[in-house]
């Protein structure tokens, strides 16, 4: 039975049916007033009330998100890879107990070497870096500039932070905060640590990663035998043995579907690189899983029909005839929308809610319908632009333009304008001012009243003039830019170094390693 297979995304909204109890009480209270009305008017009001209640019922069901039957789901679709290196810089990471060939490295040096090799090997990913001791801080936000992450990892050492003890929960939380929720990229944290943690509960941060779909791969550095390290005053009686906690690191990786790597292995860097490259492979939409299909649109349509009919039955003609006329009118309205247009409506709704993956699937389905294909290409371009994939967005806008060539110039004017205008925005942001000016000109030919297109055209032309004039004095300008850049870098460095962390020293009085 279909009713046994119905599921709801938001089942708690079904409690909204309690409003019908209030409506029933209202009907009882007003029963006496209706008896004073004529029989015909009383019937009209009764029909209208019943239909309005149907409207409310359909709206409640639609908001609850009903699903039944199997449909295609794009939740498994991923594009790209975001990697955050979470590096433990506590005092225990300065212990030199890792033998590699003729050299003895500290735990931090070994972990950073593995991280740097991975950055070099994994191309096309976005990188970020977080560091932590008693607290966790995001040091390098997500960026496609792998060199920035590489430089930071090369410059990092144990003196990067003040603070006491080790708090791996705060470190993983800081790394998880680097990710953008709307990004379809696979999210990975590479935790580099000896596994010792004296503050916080690592399991709490790992549970958050599981909820957010973040993979945590761990690189455990240090020896299992450990080395002694002085704490607090450094007296012999205050010496403690610091050793690698491999079990905690392994449990964190297994809980999130990540990979545990023994940082003491000679091939640890290549193992991590291979793991990240395997995650970077794009999952095709055709391999996405099946799940119960969303049926919200059906109940929204039924709600609109019920509401329209409830209004018609109060008119001055026969109630039964008004019901029939109303159904015919609403049915004609919806039948005028082709399947492709209905797919576009659903895709636009999903896009407006930030559900880009599901919207992408609906736009792809709409491409199979000739009347909807130009709009579907434009919609996919909007998704790519929202995800900073500007090259792909430009290509989609171009595809939409070519599909519109089969129509007369006075048809689909708004879509023609949007294709040209959005292309101009991207070209301007990319610094191609000449092409941007051409795109804005074409947009103005379609809609000469657009003030935004006129302003952007003027900005493009001014940028072309400034660009041409700067070529004659590029030497002096370059020197000024370098001086300004050095000054801004110095100010940022001073601000970062002067950050007040004294209170962190005061809030923890336990073992400082």
Query: Does position 484 have pLDDT exceeding 70, yes or no?
Result: no
Average pLDDT of 371-387?
88
pLDDT computed for residue 76 by the predictor: 42
Tokens 């392994």, residue? 250
Predicted confidence (pLDDT) per residue in 434-452, tens digit: 999 999 999 888 888 888 8
Looking at the fold, whether 109 and 169 belong to one and the same domain comes out as yes
In a domain, 379, yes or no: no
Looking at the fold, whether 55 and 201 belong to one and the same domain comes out as no
In a domain, 230, yes or no: yes
pLDDT computed for residue 365 by the predictor: 84
pLDDT band, very low/low/confident/very high, at 56 (cuts 50, 70, 90): confident
Predicted confidence (pLDDT) per residue in 199-215, tens digit: 778 888 999 999 888 99
SS (H, E, C) 164-233: CCCCHHHHHHHHHCCCCCCCCCEEEEEEEECCCCCCCCHHHHHHHHHHHCEEEEEEECCCCCCEEEECCC
pLDDT computed for residue 447 by the predictor: 86
pLDDT band, very low/low/confident/very high, at 288 (cuts 50, 70, 90): very low
pLDDT computed for residue 12 by the predictor: 85
Residue 509 has, within 13 A of its CA and on its CB side, a CA count of 1
Looking at the fold, whether 10 and 86 belong to one and the same domain comes out as no
Asked if residues 71 and 80 have their Cβ atoms less than 8 Å apart, the reply is no
Question: Residue 264 is part of which domain span?
Answer: 81-282
Rounded to a whole number of angstroms, the CA Rg of the chain reads: 31
Angle at 149 between CA 147 and CA 155, to 5 degrees: 100
Angle at 226 between CA 222 and CA 232, to 5 degrees: 105
Looking at the fold, whether 99 and 9 belong to one and the same domain comes out as no
Q: Which SS3 state, helix, strand or coil, does residue 294 take?
A: strand
Q: Which of residues 292 and 50 earns the better pLDDT score?
A: 50
pLDDT computed for residue 423 by the predictor: 92
Which stretches of 367-432 are DSSP H helices?
A: 373-386, 390-404, 413-429
Predicted confidence (pLDDT) per residue in 211-230, tens digit: 888 999 999 988 888 777 76
- In the DSSP assignment, the letter for residue 127 is E
Total domains, the chain: 2
Looking at the fold, whether 220 and 111 belong to one and the same domain comes out as yes
pLDDT computed for residue 86 by the predictor: 92
Q: Which residues contact 411 (CB under 8 A, 6 or more apart)?
A: 404
Determine the Cα–Cα distance for residues 473 and 83; give it in Å rounded to an integer: 41
Looking at the fold, whether 29 and 50 belong to one and the same domain comes out as yes
Looking at the fold, whether 48 and 85 belong to one and the same domain comes out as no
Looking at the fold, whether 118 and 176 belong to one and the same domain comes out as yes
Looking at the fold, whether 120 and 60 belong to one and the same domain comes out as no
Determine the Cα–Cα distance for residues 219 and 214; give it in Å rounded to an integer: 16
In a domain, 500, yes or no: no
Q: Which of residues 180 and 189 earns the better pLDDT score?
A: 189
In a domain, 426, yes or no: no
Looking at the fold, whether 313 and 277 belong to one and the same domain comes out as no
Neighbours of 437 (CB within 10 A): 22
In a domain, 347, yes or no: no
Query: Does position 2 have pLDDT exceeding 50, yes or no?
Result: no
Asked if residues 167 and 200 have their Cβ atoms less than 8 Å apart, the reply is yes
- Sign, CA dihedral 407-409-415-419, equals positive
In a domain, 442, yes or no: no
Q: Which of residues 185 and 83 earns the better pLDDT score?
A: 83
Query: Does position 40 have pLDDT exceeding 80, yes or no?
Result: no
In a domain, 88, yes or no: yes
Predicted confidence (pLDDT) per residue in 485-495, tens digit: 565 555 555 55
Averaged pLDDT score across all residues of the chain: 77
Determine the Cα–Cα distance for residues 130 and 490; give it in Å rounded to an integer: 21
pLDDT computed for residue 190 by the predictor: 94
pLDDT band, very low/low/confident/very high, at 502 (cuts 50, 70, 90): very low
Looking at the fold, whether 37 and 86 belong to one and the same domain comes out as no
pLDDT computed for residue 285 by the predictor: 38
**Closest of 272, 316, 286 to residue 85, by C-alpha:** 272
Structure tokens at 322: 């008004």
Q: Which of residues 289 and 93 earns the better pLDDT score?
A: 93
> Which CATH number covers residue 264?
3.40.50.410
Q: What is the pTM of this model?
A: 0.47
**Closest of 89, 84, 145, 113 to residue 276, by C-alpha:** 84
Looking at the fold, whether 150 and 244 belong to one and the same domain comes out as yes
| 96 phi and psi angles, rounded to 5 deg | -95, 95
**Closest of 414, 422, 415 to residue 453, by C-alpha:** 422
Structure tokens at 36: 């004073």
In a domain, 412, yes or no: no
């Amino acid at each position: 039975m279909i009713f046994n297979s119905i599921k709801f995304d938001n089942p708690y909204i079904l409690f909204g049916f309690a409003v019908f109890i209030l409506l029933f009480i209202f009907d009882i209270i007003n029963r006496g007033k209706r008896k004073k009305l004529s029989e015909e008017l009383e019937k009209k009001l009764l029909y209208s009330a019943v239909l309005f209640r149907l409207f409310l019922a359909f709206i409640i069901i639609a908001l609850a998100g009903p699903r039944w039957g199997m449909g295609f789901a794009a939740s498994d679709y991923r594009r790209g890879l975001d990697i955050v290196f979470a590096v433990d810089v506590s005092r225990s990471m300065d212990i030199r107990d890792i033998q590699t060939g003729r050299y003895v490295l500290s735990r931090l040096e070994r972990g950073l070497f593995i991280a740097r090799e991975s950055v070099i090997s994994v191309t096309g990913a976005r990188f970020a870096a977080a560091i932590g001791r008693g607290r966790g801080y995001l040091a390098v936000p997500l960026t496609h500039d792998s060199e920035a992450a590489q430089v930071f990892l090369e410059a990092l050492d144990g003196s990067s932070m003040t603070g006491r003890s080790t708090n791996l929960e705060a470190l993983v939380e800081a790394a998880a905060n680097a990710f953008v929720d709307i990004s379809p990229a696979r999210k990975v944290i590479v935790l580099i640590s000896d596994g010792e943690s004296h503050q916080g509960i690592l399991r709490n941060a790992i549970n958050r990663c599981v909820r957010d779909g973040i993979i945590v791969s761990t690189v455990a550095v240090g020896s299992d035998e450990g080395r002694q390290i002085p704490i607090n005053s450094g007296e012999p009686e205050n010496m403690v043995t610091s050793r690698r906690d491999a079990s905690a690191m392994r449990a964190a990786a297994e809980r999130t579907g990540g990979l545990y790597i023994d940082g003491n292995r000679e091939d640890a860097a290549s193992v991590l690189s291979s793991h990240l490259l395997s995650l970077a492979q794009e999952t095709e939409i055709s391999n996405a899983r099946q799940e119960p299909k969303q049926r919200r649109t059906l109940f929204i349509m039924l709600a609109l029909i019920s509401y329209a009919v409830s209004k018609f039955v109060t008119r001055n003609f026969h109630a039964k005839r008004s019901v029939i006329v109303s159904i015919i009118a609403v049915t004609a309205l919806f039948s005028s929308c082709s399947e492709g247009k209905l797919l576009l409506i659903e895709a636009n709704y999903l896009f407006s809610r930030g559900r880009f993956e599901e919207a992408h699937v609906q736009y792809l389905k709409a491409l199979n319908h000739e009347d909807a294909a130009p709009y579907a290409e434009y919609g996919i371009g909007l998704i790519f632009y929202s995800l900073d994939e500007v090259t792909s967005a430009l290509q989609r806008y171009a595809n939409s333009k070519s599909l519109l060539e089969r129509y007369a110039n006075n048809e689909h004017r708004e879509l023609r304008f949007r294709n040209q205008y959005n292309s101009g925005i991207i070209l301007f942001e990319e610094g191609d001012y000449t092409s941007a000016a051409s795109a804005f000109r074409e947009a103005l030919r379609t809609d000469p009243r657009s003030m935004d297109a006129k302003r952007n055209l003027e900005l493009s032309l001014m940028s072309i003039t400034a660009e041409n004039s700067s070529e004659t004095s590029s030497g002096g300008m370059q020197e000024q830019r370098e001086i300004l850049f050095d000054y801004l870098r110095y100010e940022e460095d001073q601000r970062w170094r002067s950050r007040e962390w004294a209170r962190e020293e005061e809030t923890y009085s336990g073992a400082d390693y």
